[in-house]
Structure 1
Amino acid sequence: MAPPKQPLPFEDAGASTDATMANKPDEPAFKLSLNANKVEFPFAPIGRPTYVSLRLHNPTSNRITFKVRCTSADIFRVQPPVAFVNPNGLMTITIWNANTDQKQKMEKRHYFAFYHKTAVPSARLAPPLWKNGLKDAEGVRRIPVSFLPDPSGAKSSTTSQPAAPSAAAAPAPAPGAPAP
């Protein structure tokens, strides 16, 4: 008798509703589950980074490796960008927005692309599995980025704000939490 099927930790949000994020004809469908089909960064003053956490679930019976790519390494950081997820395992992925004052870069259309493929059980490091690029990915999903406006309706000036922090800067506190 087969073991009972485990309930999913969350429902897959599915592909983005934005048609420009759809897979290209030669790209395989995404077989994992993501808890979001878009990334929405909360408002923060220029120069103060913000972050969003996504959850990735591997519903397959294979250990997989994933890789996350972004449209601008100057604006975004992904932690971890490459890693493993065990069968029926979960991974939290943190995506940082540097919230830079480079208006031209911030106004472009941005997205994150998630790639995955089966990893051999003996593999100890994920990055070498991607050394040949993305052509052997077994699944792809792109999700768009949006920057939520200031809830007070105030316009932020990009000229009088401090420069963007380094990638090692601490995240913005959760809404309602006291500032450090």
Structure 2
Amino acid sequence: MADKKSPVAVGMTVTPSNQANFVDAGSTTLMNKPGEPTFKLGINLNKVEFKCTEDRKPISVNLKLHNPMAVTVSYKVRCTSADIFRVQPPLGFVKPNETVSIVIWYQNQDKKDAISKNHYFAFYHTTSDGRTARELWANSKVEGVRRLPASFLSTK
């Protein structure tokens, strides 16, 4: 993960630029709960679609998270089932006007469990204050949230 000196988590791709061409996919079918703050970052997807294969190999989806604000923010991604999903990296930092890449993995082992439930990924962000991401998320107030639904498509 990120250390105090580096605002970028290990293995994360950062795209520095003015990002004038970044397009946020917008809101999803999953609305925020009452009282939850509006998401202020951009995500290039509004749902996570896994194209399932019969060979049951793990499937990944790449997405981009963009920070259009003038301050560095920390993000955290949570999923509905740690048994069948992995998020890499699950938390980190995004500097102003930069974009990070996040990979979401589906284990593709038990499709019945996955398809029978309404799975989603919750993206949270808060302003960075110099602590590591893990320290920051131990007791920080969420400043924005967006949930992306997961869907499973058969490649047959």
TM-score of the pair, normalised by structure 2: 0.83
For residues 97-120 of structure 1, the C-alpha deviation after alignment (integer angstroms, 9 at most, x for no partner) is 000126234421100000001002
CA RMSD of the aligned region, Å? 1.5
Is the 1:46–1:100 Cα contact (8 Å) retained in structure 2?
no
Instruction: Output the CA distance in 2 between the equivalents of 1:101 and 1:46.
Output: 12
- Other-structure match for 1:53: 62
- Other-structure match for 1:143: 148
1:147: how far off?
0.6
Is the partner of 2:105 in helix, strand or coil? strand
Q: Give the 5 Å matches for 1:134-173.
A: 136-150=141-155, 152=156
Question: 1:54 is matched by which residue type in structure 2?
Answer: L
Instruction: Note the residue ranges of structure 2 that are not aligned, 5 or more in a row.
Output: 1-17
| 1:11 corresponds to which of 18, 23, 31 | 23
Instruction: Note the residue ranges of structure 1 that are not aligned, 5 or more in a row.
Output: 1-5, 153-180
- Structure richer in strand, relative to its length: 2
Is the partner of 1:42 in helix, strand or coil? strand
Query: Of the two, which has the highest radius of gyration?
Result: 1
Larger relative contact order (C-alpha < 8 A, sep ≥ 6)? 2
Is the 2:50–2:60 Cα contact (8 Å) retained in structure 1?
yes
1:46: how far off?
5.1
- Other-structure match for 1:64: 73
For residues 19-62 of structure 1, the C-alpha deviation after alignment (integer angstroms, 9 at most, x for no partner) is xx100111000000000000001122253100000000000000
Identical pairs, percent = 52
TM-score of the pair, normalised by structure 1: 0.73
Is the partner of 1:36 in helix, strand or coil? coil
For residues 66-115 of structure 1, the C-alpha deviation after alignment (integer angstroms, 9 at most, x for no partner) is 00000000010000001000111110000000001262344211000000
